[in-house]
Amino acid sequence: MDSNNKEKKMENGEFFIKISGIKHLCKNAGVEHNTIPIIIIHGGPGGNNYTYERTIGPLLEKFVTIIYYEQRGCGRSKEPEDKEAYSIPILISDLAELCNILKLEKIIPLGFSFGGQLALEFAITYPNLVEKIIVQAPSEFFDNDRNYYIQLFGFEQIAEGNDKNKIKKIIKSQKNIKEKWLEIWDSIEIETIDKFLFRNNESAKKTRKIWRESGLESSDLMFKALQKKRNKIRLMERVSQIKAPTLIMTGLYDRNVGIELNRDFACKIPNSKLVIFEKSAHSPDIEEPEKYAKTVREFIF
């Protein structure tokens, strides 16, 4: 399908779609299964699907139709002309338009990290489009400061040597929580970040190799724009509206979002199931791929 959105039979492969005048990269896989498609909603904010396509993606493609979709200004999709044209409502409206263009009557949104937050927001706003929901370590960024505190505490727990002293000094400073959070992310070593994001060092090395290979960077524009647009009512206070069956997956050692936040989502969403990956941190899709694929398959069939 080209950028003019000419009607075409759904088939495997990579293509661009124009949504709100912006070229978005998409990729279909597993179309031959003819199932309700899972749409992969990446995290970040400002990330991409490059790693997911090359790690857990091929395992999922063996049994279900997958649509990889990169958000405006992210990965291989184009930026909006207006650098402020990012918000939760805009991002989920883009996804709804994608469904309309592809003539999808039902989807299963699968969002990881910030993408999990978008998947839940989408299910609240467009319930008739959602068959089931899958979220991996959904966050609650831009609703309140909870995620900032979770991450600061996580860094303090795993850091060693000079980084540990640096983090303690930043936490004790008089700066506000966002300033402390930004300073820690900007000043700590890669080894500390890897320990924070992954339980297994080999998984961290494998992922960093794929990141370098991709040549893609996260979009600061999206993150900065979203920081200015906090939701009036927290997502946690609205997820009880979700009626679709919901699978929540989280790593036991997740210090990026925190297992407690995922537990709270599971308690609030009426028809939900929480699965904890006991050998994973923030990325069970990378650290326990076989269990991850099995869990997804059992949930959707």
Q: How confident is the model over 132-159, as pLDDT tens digits? A: 999 999 998 877 888 999 999 999 999 9
Both tokens of 29, joined, read 């896989």
Provide the pairing of β-strand 38-41 with 66-69: parallel
Gap between the Cα atoms of 23 and 25, Å rounded = 7
Q: Is the pLDDT of residue 3 over 50?
A: no
Q: Which of 44-48, 218-222, 260-264, 265-269 has the lowest mean pLDDT?
A: 218-222
CA angle 189, 192, 197 (to 5 degrees): 125
At 35 the pLDDT is 97
Run of H or E including 278:
none
Gap between the Cα atoms of 41 and 258, Å rounded = 20
Kindly list the domain boundaries of the chain, sorted by start residue: 13-144+217-300
Provide the pairing of β-strand 246-251 with 38-41: unpaired
Task: Give the residue carrying structure tokens 């991996």.
Answer: 136
Task: Report yes or no: 123 and 245 within 8 Å, Cβ to Cβ.
Answer: no
Q: How confident is the model over 191-243, as pLDDT tens digits? A: 999 999 999 999 999 999 999 999 998 878 898 888 887 777 899 999 999 99
At 7 the pLDDT is 54
- Specify the higher pLDDT residue, 9 or 33: 33
At 6 the pLDDT is 57
> What pTM did the predictor assign?
0.94
At 60 the pLDDT is 98
What confidence category does residue 1 fall into, taking pLDDT thresholds of 50, 70 and 90? very low
- Specify the higher pLDDT residue, 174 or 1: 174
Residue 55's identity, in one-letter code, is: T
At 5 the pLDDT is 60
Ramachandran angles phi, psi of 201, nearest 5°: -65, -30
At 163 the pLDDT is 95
At 10 the pLDDT is 86
CA angle 8, 10, 16 (to 5 degrees): 70
At 211 the pLDDT is 95
At 120 the pLDDT is 98
At 273 the pLDDT is 97
* 3-class DSSP state of 24: strand
Gap between the Cα atoms of 161 and 191, Å rounded = 12
Q: How confident is the model over 39-98, as pLDDT tens digits? A: 999 999 999 999 999 999 999 999 999 999 999 999 999 999 998 999 999 999 999 999
Q: How confident is the model over 161-193, as pLDDT tens digits? A: 999 999 999 999 999 999 999 999 999 999 999
Mean pLDDT of the 268-295 span: 97
Task: Report yes or no: 197 and 206 within 8 Å, Cβ to Cβ.
Answer: no
Q: Is the pLDDT of residue 25 over 80?
A: yes
Which CATH number describes the domain made up of 13-144+217-300?
Answer: 3.40.50.1820
